[in-house]
Amino acid sequence: MDHDKVVRDKMTEKYLLEELDPESRDEFEEHFFDCPECALDVRAASDFVTHSKIVLKASSETVAVRATTPVSGSRWGWFGWFRPAFAAPALAILLAIVSYQNLVTYPELRSALKQPQVLPWASVNVGTWGAARPTVTIAPHQGFLLFIRIPPDGTYTHYKADLYNPDGQLEWTLTIPATRGQDQWPLQVPGGNWKIGTYRILVRGFTAAGESKDLGSTSFELQIQN
C-alpha cells in the first residue's frame, strides 16, 4: 500500500474506527508495520482514544453523582449531558491532552524515529513444542522486534498471525506474504500500552483458493522495566 494513498484516504482514522473492509484492513496493517510514521500515527491515535475514554468516564461518574440530587422543575432530562457545566470540564481536559501531545509528545517521538535504535527482540518458532519461551524486556510503551519462524510449505500464498495478550484478547492480526525460500520474518511491533505476561501468536496458512489451516502457535514473555 502506498504511503501517499494512506495519508490521502485517511486510512489511519478509518482503521481505528473499523471502517475498512477486510482486504483494505489487511493491506493497511501490512503497511504500517513497515512504516514507522504510520505506526506512530496509529499509536498516537490509539493513546488519544484511551485518554478520551478515561476523561469521559470520569465526567460520566460526576454527572451520575450530581443527578442523584433532585432539581425541581428540571427541563433537561437526558439532555443534561450536553449542559456546559458537564461538557466544559471534559472538553478542557481533552484539549489539554491534545495540546500536550501535539507540542511535546509527538515531536519527540517523530524525532526519535529518525535516529538509529537498538530494540529489544525475541525469536519465536511456530509449531515447536517443548521449546523454552523467550522473554522480551522493554521500557514502558516501547516497541520491540519479533523474528517469527514458520516452517516452509509451498502450499500457501500467505499467512495470518494473530497476537493474543495475557488476558486472551486479540491485539491484532497481521498478514504475512509467503515468499518462496523464506522461513523467517522480522516483525517490528510498535510501542503501546503493553501488559506484562505471556503473549501467544497463532498462525494460519492460506492457499490461493482461500482455504486455511492452523499451522500452530508460539508464545513469548513480555516484561516491562520501570
Residue 114: pLDDT band (50, 70, 90) is low
CATH code of 217's domain: 2.60.40.1930
| 55-107 residue pLDDT tens | 555 555 554 555 554 545 444 444 444 455 545 555 555 555 555 555 555 56
Domain span at residue 168 reads: 121-224
C-alpha 183/C-alpha 151 separation (Å) is: 6
How far is it, in rounded angstroms, from Cα 8 to Cα 142? 28
C-alpha torsion 123→199→222→110, nearest 10 = 80
Task: Please indicate, yes or no, if residue 57 is contained in any of the structural domains.
Answer: yes
130 and 163 share one domain: yes
* Boundary (domain end) residue, out of 113, 142, 174: 113
More confident residue, 201 or 84: 201
| Residue 78 CA to its chain's centroid (Å) | 34
